[in-house]
Structure 1
C-alpha cells in the first residue's frame, strides 16, 4: 500500500461536530482533492482548502441573516459542492439543515418548509421557487436564495448576490449533542415525519460504517443518490470526509452510465434498483450475442460465485478454478468497464437486493455489500463486509449497535445513531422509541451467525426499489375516498414505482365509462387507455397530500368485490394482503411489464 493510501480516518470524537469534521480534514490534507463536479462541459476539482474557503463565504452570508442557533435552514439543490458547503456552514453556526429533494413535488416541499419552520431556503431556480408559492404557508421564510437564477423581490436573492466575496471558515458551534438536521421521511399519517438527528448521530454512524469497510484517501466515490437521502449523506458525504477520500458528484441518474465511465470510482453507494437495471441490460447484451456466449457467460458467473463462496469459507474450491481469470478477462471485464472498471466495493441499501442480482455481480467479480438501516438510525445499523459477506443477509451489526428481537419478532435497535425523535410529533416518537432507548424498526428479522436478515414488516410498509418507504394502508384509504373506488390494494415492494389494484363501484364506473365514450359492459372496457388515464388522474388528486414518490404509475381495474366468502377479507372486513397478492399475482406482474 502506498503512503498516500494509508488509513487516515478522523475519529468522530475528535471532530465533535459536522463542521469540526471539515476543520480536522483541512488540517490534515488541505491540498488533496475533495470534490469533483461537472461544469462548463468539463470535470472540475476543489481541494479541501478551497472547500473550506467556500464554506467560509456561506458562513458569512448565513451569519448576516442573524439567525439564532437552532434556526432551520432548508436546502433544495441537486448534489454538488454548494449543497455540502451550505450544510457545513449551517453546522458551523449551530443552524439546523432541512434537506429537501431537488425534484420533490412542490406541495410536499412547501409542507416541509412550513412544518419545519424554515427561516431560509437555498433553491436551484426561480421556476422551482415559483412552483412552491401556491402551496402551504411560507411566511416563516425570511430569505430565499436561488443558485442559478436572478431574483425578483426583496426576500429573494441570487446566490451570486447573497454570497460575499470572501469569508473565514470557523467552527463557532461546538455542541455535538445539539440538533444538526431534520430529515423528513414517510409517516403513517401520509405526511412525512421530521427525523431529528444530532451532530454526533451522523458522525458516529459515518465512523462506525467506515470501521466496517475501511476507506483510504486513494478511494474515489461517485455520488448520485440525492444528498437528501440519509444513506448518501452519511456514507457518501460525511464518511469520505472522515476518511479523506474524494467524491465526484454525478450529473443525475440519466447520466449515471456516462459518469461511471468518466469518473471510474472505486466505491459506489447505491440502491437495488440501479443494480437491477444494470443486470437487465447486461443479460440483454449477452443474449444478443447468441446462445454459445450466453452459455459461457452463465458458466463464468456460476464459477465466480463458487469462488466467492470458497473465499468466504463456506464451500470447497470450485473445479476448473483456473479458467475463471480467462473467462473474466473475456466476458466480465468489458461489463465491469461500463461501471468504470475500478470498483472495489459497492454498498447497496435502502431496500432488499434480489439474490439473483447479487449473484450476478458477485459472480462477475464485483464486491457487492448489502446493508440495512433507517433514517431514524442515521441511518446504518448493519452491513456486510468484504471479509464476511452473506448476500442473502443485510450483514453484521455496526460497532456499538445493539440489536434484539421483540416478542412479536420485531427488530429493535439501540445505538449512538438513534434519533432524538420526530420534530413536533411526540406521539409518533413515543410509538418508536421506548423508555429504555430501544428503537422499534417495524421490521421483522432473523439472525444467523451474527448476520441479520429482514423477513418482513409489521405494518406491511412498502419499500420501493429506490429505498423510499410508503405505508400502503394510508394510500389505500386516500384512494377509497374517491366515490369511484370501492377497494384498493397498493403494490410496489422492491419495484421501481407504485401501482394498485382497484375494485370499482358499479354505478360510478358506468358513469365514468359513458363520459369517456366507452361501453361499461364491454369485456375490455376496464383496460381501455382512456379509462386508465382518467382513473390515474383521479388517483393523483386523491394522493395530493402524499410525497411525489407515492403517486401511482399504473392500475389494474376490476369490478369483482373482495369478500369474506371468497377469502379475500377477514371476518372483521380487513383485506388479506397476502391472499390478495396471490390472487392478483399475474395482473400485478403485468403492471410492471413494458
Structure 2
C-alpha cells in the first residue's frame, strides 16, 4: 500500500460556518456581484446581485426562519431544482445553525417519506404544487414536520415578512456560535440498492476541499483580471452541486442558476450567461459532443467535423506527452491543421458553451480519455476529478501543468489515498464525513481506522495519478469464473452517437451481455439520413437491419479494448431510457444496476436463450452478438 498527495501542503484551519463567507464578502467587497438571476426562466437578461445584497437577503430570510421556530440543529429539507432561492435559503439556514437536507425534486413518495423521517426534518421547502401534494401524502406519519413551504407560492416572501420584528443581532449571535464541526448538511447517498443513507457533513468537511481548490486552481476560472463565472445547473441535491455552490460563494465567482436540464434551455442559458468555467458530469460532456457531431452531419459537414475532432485529439495527446516529459509537442503539420480547424470549427464549438469557457471540471464518474482529449484539443481543458458524497465531493484533481487525461488526477493537498489489497480506494482527510445518521454499524464498516472505504476500485501509477476502474459491488463474475469490471465497456459504448446508455450484465451467465438505450435525437437524425425507398414493411425491415449493424459496430469498438473473454457477446436495445422517474437512475445520474437487472430480467433471459438457440452462422465477428431472435425495437 502506498499514499500519494499533490504536495505536503498543510490544510488551512477553518473557523465558523459556511454562512460566514457571505457576510465576509459583504464586508470586504460589498459591490462584488455574487449571484445572477433572471426575471423569468426564459429571459436572456441576467440581473447581477452584489455581495451586500445577497447578505441582506440571507439575513431577512434567516429572521423569518427564527420567527418560525427554526433553531440550531434543526433539520430542514429543500426539495427543489437548482434555482436562485436554493442558494439564498441554504445560507440563511446555515446562518441560524440549522442543517440542510437536500431532496431530489422528482423523488417518489416513498423516498420523500423515508428521508424526512430518517432525518427528523422539522420543515421542508418544496418548489411547486405537485411537490406539496407529494409531501402532503406522507405528512400524517411525520410527527416532527411542522412546516411545508412552497417557493412558487411566495413562501420566502412570507418568511421575510414574518421575521421583520426579529433583530439583526439575533441572526449574528446564532451565526457566530456555529462551529466548524457542526453538521451543515445531511446528504443522502444515491442509494443504488436499498434505502439511501444520510451522510452527515460538517461545515469544515464542505469548506475544506473548496478552499483547497480555490487556492490551487481558482485563478484558472477566468482570464487574468476578470471575475470568474459559473452556470449552476446540476442538482444541489447532490454533493457535487453543493460543492460548486460553495466554491462560487467562497471564491467570489459569479453564479447563475439554470433549473432546466433540457438541452434547449441549457444551451440558451449558456449563450446568454456566458460562463468562464463549466462543470458537468460525463454524460453531459458526451451529450454535447454528440450534439456537435449531429449538427455537423445535418449541415453536410460531418466528415469535416470528424477530421477536426481527430486533429483535436492528436494535438491534445501531443501536448500531454510534452508536459509529462515524453515528447516535444505537436509537430509543424499538426499545428497547421489545428490552426486551420481553430478558425473554421473549434471556436464555433466553444461558442455553444457561451464562448468564454477555457476550462471545465467533470465529476460523478470517470470521463473517457478520448473525450477529454477532444475537449482539450478544441480549447476547453476538462479537469477530471474524483470524489463522493462521503468525502464532501473533493478528493483528487488534475495538477496544473501536469494534467493526464484518462485519470482523475492526484490527491488534493491534505488528502491521503491508499489502495487496499483488492484495489479498493481508501481515503483520509478533512473532507471525510462525520458518519451515517442513525446507522452506527454502517459508519463503522465504512470508516476503518480513520480511512474511508470508498467501495471504488482503482490503481495508482508511479506518479500518483489515480485511475478509477469501477465499483466493487459492480464486478460481474460469469459462470466460468471470469471477473469483469463493466464501467470501461459501458463508457466506450456510450461514445457511439446512437448509444445513450449501456448496462453490462453477465453474473452467472456464460458470457458478457449488455442492455442498450438509444439517443432519441440522434436516432431520429440517423433514420432520416437513411436512403431507403420502398413500401413500409420492407423499409422497416431494412432499417432494422441497418440499425443492427450500426449497434454491432458500437459493440465491436467497445470490445476492442478488452480480451475476448471479457467482451460483449449478446445485447439487446431497449425502447425506454433509464431515468430517475422510472427508478433506474440515481439523482446523480448513476445507474441503479440492481433495479435495472430486476426490471429487465425477462429481456436478459430471452437475450441469452436466443444466443444458445441460434445456429452458428458465417457472419462478421463484429456482428456475432446478434441473431435472428434479437429485435432492436422491443
Q: TM-score, normalised by structure 1?
A: 0.76
Q: CA deviation at 1:444?
A: 1.4
Q: CA deviation at 1:310?
A: 4.8
Q: Are the structure 2 counterparts of residues 226 and 342 from structure 1 closer, same or farther at C-alpha, using a change threshold of 3 Å?
A: same
Please give the alpha-carbon distance, in whole angstroms, between the structure 2 residues aligned to 1:124 and 1:179.
25
CA contact (8 A) 2:575 2:633 kept: no
Matched, 1:312 2:315: no
The equivalent residue for 2:340 is 326
Q: Deviations over 1:418-442 (max 9, x none)?
A: 01110101111111101x2100011
Please give the alpha-carbon distance, in whole angstroms, between the structure 1 residues aligned to 2:367 and 2:189.
21
Judge which range, 13-22 or 66-75, deviates more.
Answer: 13-22
Judge which range, 301-310 or 372-381, deviates more.
Answer: 301-310
Q: Are the structure 2 counterparts of residues 188 and 348 from structure 1 closer, same or farther at C-alpha, using a change threshold of 3 Å?
A: closer
Match of 1:160 among 157, 167, 177: 157
Q: Deviations over 1:285-322 (max 9, x none)?
A: 33343465246424532443244325524322222224
| Secondary structure of the structure 2 residue equivalent to 1:403 | strand
Judge which range, 196-205 or 352-361, deviates more.
Answer: 352-361
Match of 2:59 among 49, 56, 65: 56
| Secondary structure of the structure 1 residue equivalent to 2:377 | helix
Match of 1:95 among 85, 94, 98: 98
| Secondary structure of the structure 2 residue equivalent to 1:141 | coil
Please give the alpha-carbon distance, in whole angstroms, between the structure 2 residues aligned to 1:496 and 1:204.
39
The equivalent residue for 1:249 is 257
Q: CA deviation at 1:332?
A: 0.6
| Secondary structure of the structure 2 residue equivalent to 1:181 | strand
Please give the alpha-carbon distance, in whole angstroms, between the structure 2 residues aligned to 1:494 and 1:443.
25
Please give the alpha-carbon distance, in whole angstroms, between the structure 1 residues aligned to 2:572 and 2:16.
60
CA contact (8 A) 1:187 1:193 kept: yes
Q: CA deviation at 1:135?
A: 4.0
Please give the alpha-carbon distance, in whole angstroms, between the structure 1 residues aligned to 2:519 and 2:123.
33
Please give the alpha-carbon distance, in whole angstroms, between the structure 2 residues aligned to 1:295 and 1:77.
40
| Secondary structure of the structure 1 residue equivalent to 2:473 | coil
The equivalent residue for 2:537 is none
Matched, 1:446 2:450: no
The equivalent residue for 1:35 is 35
Match of 2:418 among 396, 400, 404: 404
Matched, 1:44 2:47: yes
Match of 2:82 among 58, 79, 83: 79
CA contact (8 A) 2:121 2:144 kept: yes
Q: Are the structure 2 counterparts of residues 386 and 543 from structure 1 closer, same or farther at C-alpha, using a change threshold of 3 Å?
A: closer
CA RMSD of aligned residues (A): 4.2
Q: CA deviation at 1:227?
A: 1.0
The equivalent residue for 1:106 is 109
Q: Are the structure 2 counterparts of residues 405 and 495 from structure 1 closer, same or farther at C-alpha, using a change threshold of 3 Å?
A: farther
Q: Deviations over 1:445-479 (max 9, x none)?
A: 1111121111222111888999xxxxx99x999xx
Q: CA deviation at 1:222?
A: 0.9
CA contact (8 A) 2:205 2:433 kept: yes
The equivalent residue for 1:360 is 374
Match of 2:233 among 212, 224, 228: 224
Q: Are the structure 2 counterparts of residues 194 and 365 from structure 1 closer, same or farther at C-alpha, using a change threshold of 3 Å?
A: same
The equivalent residue for 2:389 is 375
Matches within 5 A, 1:173-572: 173-187=177-191, 190-215=194-219, 218-234=227-243, 236-254=244-262, 255-288=265-298, 289-290=300-301, 293-294=304-305, 296-313=307-324, 314-319=326-331, 320=333, 321-434=335-448, 436-448=449-461, 449-460=463-474, 550=592, 552=596, 555=600, 557=603, 559=605
Q: Are the structure 2 counterparts of residues 396 and 250 from structure 1 closer, same or farther at C-alpha, using a change threshold of 3 Å?
A: same
Q: CA deviation at 1:591?
A: 10
Please give the alpha-carbon distance, in whole angstroms, between the structure 1 residues aligned to 2:633 and 2:248.
38
Q: TM-score, normalised by structure 2?
A: 0.71
Judge which range, 162-171 or 120-129, deviates more.
Answer: 162-171
Q: Deviations over 1:465-515 (max 9, x none)?
A: 99xxxxx99x999xxxxxxxx9xx997899999xxxxxxxxxxxxxxxxxx
Q: CA deviation at 1:543?
A: 11
Q: CA deviation at 1:560?
A: 5.5
Q: Deviations over 1:335-375 (max 9, x none)?
A: 11111111121000101212222122122121111001110
Q: Are the structure 2 counterparts of residues 85 and 591 from structure 1 closer, same or farther at C-alpha, using a change threshold of 3 Å?
A: farther
Please give the alpha-carbon distance, in whole angstroms, between the structure 2 residues aligned to 1:179 and 1:408.
33
Q: Deviations over 1:129-188 (max 9, x none)?
A: 1123334723321111111127xxxxxxx3322222757352243311111110001347
CA contact (8 A) 1:34 1:48 kept: yes
Match of 2:126 among 123, 126, 132: 123
Q: Are the structure 2 counterparts of residues 161 and 456 from structure 1 closer, same or farther at C-alpha, using a change threshold of 3 Å?
A: closer
